[in-house]
Structures are given as structure tokens and as C-alpha cells.
């Protein structure tokens, strides 16, 4: 069995775990795969912004003339890509809706690059954690900024990968019934509204005249 085939098998296994998350989200909060993909992109955007911030701070504080512009350029590129991909979720939703109307069958599309990206992010996280140069080369404060930047970049990569897994899930017709948490929230809100209404005190015209 070749390396690519092993990666495809790993991608299939990971895809099925995301399938479980998607099914749970649909039942619990009424979120479909598109909502989950957007949420993943929101995390990605926040992480990309954090990475860019750490790079800027490290560049100005420790005068890394070359690393600063390169890091900021990478962060800005990631943010731009994340925004474009997040916007594309609605187009994918519309496209899937058209296919559902045509009663088209869907087959999962497994890809070998997704596990590679996940392993790459995991490797960066481990490398930044164990990296401990002597103070003469890098002082502890600079090392902390470097670690935080790497962690943020890893989260950004994992967020993008997660969004791709959610987008590739088998689409379903829009569900009309709300999720369990939505039902619970509505029942609490309605119950609170009834208590306010019952507890309110109203004065009739006769009561007002008696006061006069």
C-alpha cells in the first residue's frame, strides 16, 4: 500500500469523525454543515489575526527586519484567504441545494492533503513547545512570542482543515424542526414571558375612580 493510499484512508477516518460532529450539531443546536464551516473559519480568522499580531510585536521589539515583513505578509495573506473561503460557503450551500432538487447522489471526496496539513500543524506545535534555545540565542520573552505565534498559526491551519471537512459532508435538506438546545431556549424564554405577564398588575377604571 502506497503512502497516498494510507493518507486517503486516514482522511476517510477523520472525515467520519467530523460526520459525527455534524450529526450531533444538527440534533443539538440545529446547525448544519455550512454553519459549522463558517464557525471554523471564524476561529481561523481569529487565529490568523493573532499570529499577525505576535509577529508584529516580535518584529518591533526585537528588531527582526526580515522576519517582520515576511510574517506580516503571511498573516495578511492568510486573513484574505480565510475571508474568501468563508464567503464561498454560501455559494457551496446554493450549489448543494440545486443538486438536492435534482435528487443527485453525493459521494464523500477524500483527499490526501488534509491529513498532511493536520500533521504539519501538529508538528509545528510540538516543535515550538520543545524548542528551548539558550538565553544567549533567544531570551525567554522572545521565545514566548515565537511560541504563541506558532500556536496561532497551527490553529489557523487546523481551522481551515476543519472547515474543509465540514464543507465536504453529505448535504441534507434543510431541517424544519429546531435542535434540542434551541427548543430548550425557546421554552425558557416563553416560560419567562408567561411569568412576567402573570405577575404584572393591571388597574381597572373602577379601581382608578375609587382612588380618586
CA dist 124 and 115 (Å) reads 14
What residue ranges of the chain have pLDDT lower than 70?
A: 1, 63-68, 103-104, 174-212
* Residue 92 near residue 34 (C-beta atoms within 8 A): yes
88-123 pLDDT, tens digit each: 999 999 988 888 888 667 788 899 999 999 999 999
CA dist 73 and 17 (Å) reads 34
Would you give the DSSP letter of residue 105?
Answer: -
CA dist 112 and 7 (Å) reads 5
pLDDT at residue 208, rounded to an integer: 45
pTM: predicted TM-score of the whole model, two decimal places = 0.76
DSSP string, 15-47: HHHHHHHHHHHHHHT---HHHHHHHHHHHHHHH
Among 20, 19, 22, 28, which residue's Cα sits nearest to residue 177?
A: 28
Radius of gyration of the chain (CA): 25
Amino acid at each position: 500500500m502506497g503512502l497516498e493510499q494510507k493518507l486517503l484512508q486516514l482522511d476517510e477516518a477523520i472525515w467520519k469523525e467530523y460526520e459525527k460532529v455534524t450529526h450531533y450539531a444538527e440534533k443539538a443546536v440545529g446547525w448544519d454543515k455550512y454553519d459549522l464551516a463558517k464557525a471554523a473559519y471564524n476561529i481561523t480568522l481569529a487565529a490568523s489575526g493573532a499570529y499577525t499580531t505576535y509577529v508584529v510585536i516580535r518584529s518591533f521589539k526585537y528588531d527582526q527586519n526580515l522576519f517582520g515583513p515576511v510574517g506580516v505578509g503571511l498573516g495578511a495573506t492568510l486573513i484574505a484567504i480565510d475571508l474568501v473561503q468563508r464567503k464561498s460557503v454560501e455559494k457551496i450551500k446554493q450549489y448543494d441545494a440545486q443538486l438536492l432538487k435534482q435528487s443527485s447522489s453525493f459521494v464523500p471526496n477524500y483527499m490526501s492533503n488534509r491529513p498532511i496539513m493536520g500533521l504539519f500543524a501538529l508538528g509545528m506545535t510540538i516543535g515550538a513547545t520543545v524548542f528551548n534555545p539558550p538565553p544567549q540565542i533567544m531570551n525567554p520573552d522572545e521565545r514566548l512570542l515565537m511560541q504563541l505565534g506558532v500556536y496561532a498559526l497551527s490553529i489557523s491551519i487546523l481551522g481551515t482543515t476543519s472547515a474543509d471537512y465540514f464543507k465536504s459532508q453529505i448535504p441534507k435538506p434543510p431541517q424544519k424542526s429546531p435542535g434540542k438546545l434551541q427548543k430548550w431556549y425557546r421554552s425558557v424564554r416563553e416560560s419567562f414571558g408567561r411569568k412576567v405577564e402573570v405577575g404584572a398588575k393591571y388597574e381597572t377604571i373602577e379601581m382608578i375612580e375609587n382612588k380618586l
